[in-house]
Amino acid sequence: MKRPLHQAYIQKCLDAFSDNTNVLQLTSAEYTGPLEFVQFWLDTIDQWQKKTHRKPLAVLSCTKDVQDAILADPVRRDIVSVIDIRYWWYQADGTVYAPRAGQNLSPRQHARLLNPKPASFEQVVRAVRDYRSRYPDKAVLFSADSRFGWAVLLGGGSLPQLPVQTDSGLLEAVLQMEPMEWPVREGRCLALSDGGEQSLIYVLSGSRLFVPQADGGEHIEVRRIDMNSGRIAASQVVDGGQEQELPVGEVPALFWLIRKSSSEQRFGR
């Protein structure tokens, strides 16, 4: 009895936004139910897609065990457009908080029973980057904690909650960037890069950041980003002809590096 009602409701939701390309379709606001319903939900979406020849943005927003099971399914995985990390996360010590599906418990009830610890900047990057690298054709959201917008961005995630006044040029530049490993001699950096022209680098406190040597005639503009406001806090131009170390200080720092030719530097571009 309930199956056709659920199918009709899912199809109605898809019909209502069939002409919109920016609507995310989720199972529900707090879905911690079993794998079988998510399979049914995706199968219904697939039937609708074949009938209408449209591709809705289906978001896989559920517990980790269900997410991993769907993503391991080569048929249903292709129906998913977005992975939403909402009901699980890596805690600051690196262990995973991942309630099991189908326990008839809401996220708040799971939390009261399991007493999870908060995530950390590095662990949010880890979670987002892991799923982004394994499923590069899908966007990854991190909705479990809104405090880590910069971490979501550096992990390669989508829709990060950044400060409202974040520099517009930086927002445009990161659209072309992908996660990468930045070489350091001490400590650790987390970085995005477009392949050579621009990079965004988060340097952990105690680390040493070096601007690599560039081709002859090039300079590198180094802009330090205030992570609280998203604005450029300081800027300097370094000679690309030799490797240089940047002052990081005692707290983590965020740098936007822009490679420029001598002519661009001369005319202020």
Chosen domain end from 128, 154, 180: 154
Give the distance from CA 30 to its chain's centroid. Answer: 20
pLDDT digits (tens, 9 = 90+) for 194-244: 987 899 999 887 777 777 766 666 788 999 999 999 999 999 888 766 677
Whether residue 37 is found in the same domain as residue 66:
yes
Whether residue 109 is found in the same domain as residue 132:
yes
CATH code, domain carrying 210: 2.60.120.10
Whether residue 149 is found in the same domain as residue 172:
no
Whether residue 25 is found in the same domain as residue 54:
yes
Give the distance from CA 66 to its chain's centroid. Answer: 20
pLDDT digits (tens, 9 = 90+) for 91-145: 999 999 999 999 999 999 999 999 999 999 999 999 999 999 999 999 999 999 9
CA-to-CA distance for 61 and 85, rounded, in angstroms? 7
Whether residue 147 is found in the same domain as residue 176:
no
Would you say residue 13 lies in a domain? yes
pLDDT digits (tens, 9 = 90+) for 38-83: 999 999 999 999 999 999 999 999 999 999 999 999 999 999 999 9
Chosen domain end from 122, 154, 186: 154
Whether residue 103 is found in the same domain as residue 9:
yes
Whether residue 58 is found in the same domain as residue 142:
yes
Burial of 215 (0-12, 13-18, 19+ CB in 10 A): exposed
219: containing domain: 168-266
Whether residue 177 is found in the same domain as residue 120:
no
In 3D, which of 110, 260, 245 has the Cα closest to residue 183? 245
CA-to-CA distance for 79 and 76, rounded, in angstroms? 5
Domains of the chain: total? 2
Residue 265 pLDDT grade (very low, low, confident, very high; cuts 50, 70, 90): very low
Whether residue 145 is found in the same domain as residue 172:
no
Whether residue 107 is found in the same domain as residue 232:
no
Would you say residue 162 lies in a domain? no
Whether residue 146 is found in the same domain as residue 97:
yes
